[in-house]
């Protein structure tokens, strides 16, 4: 069954609500070895998304995502704005001009988002960033789609993978961002960005239609 604008709206709304509800939690995670502004920065950007929700151009799913990305990039401070904004923008570019889309389009958009994050943040897998949860989750999505899983089951599997991989970041030494300044002291605590990916996907899986 092809995806549509309403599906994209649902995901972005869930993402927005999750970020706003977890502002303090994400900030506390970041404060362990970072500067503690991760939750605050994300929330300020997604606050504007929520406030302007009815005003975004909904010509097609890609245009909608592009407008959301522009808002995020303009309002989120620090390194998070360019990274999260670029990710959403790349996803929007992949879906632009497509009133409906297939799972393959979503996977391609997510891969493009990862490439954008890597270009912006100069990060690779194993650097203790959100990529360490996001990339394995996308791999899981691709495997689930190939196996013929339902959308609900695929999202649930993504969430499980993201949680496991986010928890595993506690074993890594940070090599990007403020946390990298702490060297080996960053080992033992989970990455805030990776954990945010897990929380976002878990919320999406819990509330996915048909669950």
- Is the pLDDT at 177 greater than 80? The verdict is no
- The better pLDDT of the pair 4, 126 is held by 4
pLDDT confidence of 188, banded at 50, 70, 90? low
In angstroms, how far apart are the furthest CA atoms of the chain? 48
- Check pLDDT > 90 for residue 78: no
Residue 195, phi then psi, degrees to nearest 5: -65, -35
Mean pLDDT rounded to a whole number for the chain: 89
Q: For residues 1 and 150, is the Cβ–Cβ distance under 8 A?
A: no
Q: Name the band, by pLDDT with cuts 50, 70 and 90, for residue 182.
A: very low
Banded pLDDT at 162 (limits 50, 70, 90): very high
The model's pTM is 0.91
- Rounded Cα–Cα distance for residues 93 and 113 (Å): 10
Q: What is the mean pLDDT of residues 75-90?
A: 85
Long-range contacts of 140-144 (CB under 8 A, 24+ apart): 141/103, 141/106, 141/107, 141/110, 142/107
Q: How many residues does the chain have?
A: 211
What is the distance in angstroms between the CA of the first residue and the CA of the last residue of the chain?
Answer: 16
- Give the E-state strand segments of 86-137 in sequence order: 100-101
The answer to whether residue 209 scores a pLDDT higher than 90 is no
Checking if the pLDDT of 129 tops 90, the result is no
Confidence check: pLDDT of 152 > 90: yes
Residue of 171, 108, 166, 169 lying closest to 137 (CA atoms): 166
pLDDT of residue 189: 80
Answer yes or no: is pLDDT of 186 > 60.
no
């Amino acid at each position: 069954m092809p995806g549509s604008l309403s599906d994209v709206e649902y995901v972005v709304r869930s993402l927005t609500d999750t970020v706003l509800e977890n502002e303090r939690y994400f900030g506390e995670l970041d404060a362990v070895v970072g500067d503690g502004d991760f939750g605050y920065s994300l929330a300020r950007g997604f606050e504007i998304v929520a406030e302007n929700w009815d005003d975004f151009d909904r010509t097609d799913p890609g245009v909608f995502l592009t407008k959301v990305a522009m808002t995020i990039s303009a309002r989120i401070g620090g390194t998070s704005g360019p990274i999260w904004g670029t990710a959403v923008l790349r996803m929007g570019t992949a879906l632009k001009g497509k009133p409906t889309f297939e799972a393959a389009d979503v996977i391609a958009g997510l891969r493009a988002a990862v490439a954008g994050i890597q270009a912006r943040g100069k990060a690779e897998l194993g650097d203790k960033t959100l990529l360490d949860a996001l990339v394995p989750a996308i791999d899981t999505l691709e495997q689930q789609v190939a196996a013929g899983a339902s959308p609900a089951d695929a999202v649930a599997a993504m969430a499980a993978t993201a949680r496991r991989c986010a928890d595993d970041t506690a074993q890594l030494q940070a090599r990007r961002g403020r946390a990298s300044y702490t060297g080996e002291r960053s080992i033992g605590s989970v990455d805030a960005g990776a954990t945010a990916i897990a929380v976002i996907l878990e919320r999406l899986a819990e509330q996915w239609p048909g669950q």
